[in-house]
Chain A
Amino acid sequence: MDLINATCQTIVMVAISLVGAYVFGIPLGVILVGTRKEGIFPNRFWNAILGWIVNTIRSIPFIILLVALIPVTRFLLGTGIGMAAVILPLIVACVPFVARMVETSLLEIDKGMIDAAVAMGASKLQIFFNIYLPESIPSLVRGAAITCIALIGYTAMAGMVDGGGLGQYAIYKGYYQYQYDQVIYTVIILVVLVEIIQLGFISLAKRLDKKRGNIK
């Protein structure tokens, strides 16, 4: 296992998990906002249940979740080890994280805009698709940077189930083979990755955000 290979494994794990986390996290975040007392489809029961599930999963450290989910992973994928076996726990760990991020972004929307739409006679779905989503996109993109960086941290634990990636590489080379230079290279690559992600998402959010008056 070389450094380039490990880097690629980390990127693949992060990319797939990020997509998976948003596919499930966005609807969950929307339901969390929508079922609030003042939401577009208020339902106190479901809001409490989903809020509790989200908080419970978020309170479990990833390394424990990874191990706890091995039977589920084995049942679904036929194996409890390898990269595929890490992606499922990564998604499970990140969905509640993304859901809360989406919830925060949606709640940032100026209530005045909603008033304007209600006064025009807009339906709840029209309000959702025309105001909530488009108005919160820059904030959602900024949130994606945080999720992505958190995911890199989680992938470091993939080595526990032989999932590969930079975390496993650093432990293998540094802890077992005393090649400390390789650990330093790993750290440098991680720092660069985080910087690229942060800069990339933030500049994308800036380009998308018309609220700041930076676009004609």
Chain B
Amino acid sequence: MVKVSHLSKDFETKEGKLEALHDVSFEIKAGEIFGIIGKSGAGKTTLLRILSQLERPSGGEVLINNSVIAKGDKVITNNKIKKTMGVVFQGYNLLMQKTVARNIEFPLKIAGVNKTKWDKRVNDLLRFVDLEDKKEAYPATLSGGQKQRVAIARALANSPKILLLDEPTSALDTLSTSAIISLLQKINQEEQVTIIIVTHEIGVVKKLCQRIAVINEGKVVDYGTVQEVFANPSNIATKQLLGV
């Protein structure tokens, strides 16, 4: 479903070239929950931004559903692929001057979905994320957990095949974190959505992910099922994350 081969990304900084990703390769299967884990500054978000076609890589190749979306230093903008993907950003990135309902229907508007279908879809999604009473509320009045659920509902609006999430629980308390984990499991099982989650929280990974790639200093240092990697961490960075 997602195939990343020899991906690299350099940033030009005042201090010189910064290698954010180096020879990163992994595959994500349809229907799985895949974790991209690593400490801050490891290159996780850069990787997610390349997968969501927001960032141009410096080399390598990214295939999504057998379509090349990035090759070498070029992004092959593919709006068809974009509409099969939902992205949930770390800061939620909700439209602050629009109500919850208008936020959720925004991707439908972008995709050119017939206006008569918007309201039903919004209501279904609000029921799904358990926020029916917040339909006409503005994001500023919501809690972190509620904003995250709106962001997830918005990402699901166009019934994506893949859901990408950047640190979806890092700003949430334990209770909200559990609620988001349950919601993501429900999305994966009921809607058959492949989930790619970027996180540094091991607890979340253990509860949610089936397979993971551990990133450290822009390289994949461990890769496999959660059980395999956590039982035999091969790299010091993985051990540090696990606290062993």
Contact = CB atoms under 8 A, between A and B. Distances in A.
8 contacts: A110-B93, A110-B96, A121-B111, A122-B110, A126-B110, A130-B109, A134-B97, A135-B96
Interface in A116-131: 116-122, 126, 130-131
A126 B95 CA distance: 14
A37 interface: no
B146 to A, nearest CB: 12
Contacts of A149: none
B93 A112 contact: yes
Interface string B131-158: 0000011101100000000000010001
Nearest to B142: A213
Contact of B97 (A116, A117, A120, A210): A210
A121 B111 CA distance: 8
A120 B53 contact: no
Interface string A96-115: 00000000000000101101
B54 A120 contact: no
Given A120-B83, A121-B111, A126-B110, A216 B137 contact: yes
A210 B103 CA distance: 13
A207 B49 CA distance: 35
Contacts of B158: 120
Given A116-B154, A117-B110, A215-B138, 11 more contacts: A110-B93, A116-B87, A116-B89, A118-B53, A119-B52, A120-B82, A120-B106, A121-B79, A121-B110, A211-B140, A215-B141
B97 A216 contact: no
Contact of B93 (A115, A122, A215): A115
Contacts of A117: 106, 110
A109 to B, nearest CB: 10
B85 interface: yes
A134 B98 contact: yes
A90 B62 CA distance: 56
A135 B97 contact: yes
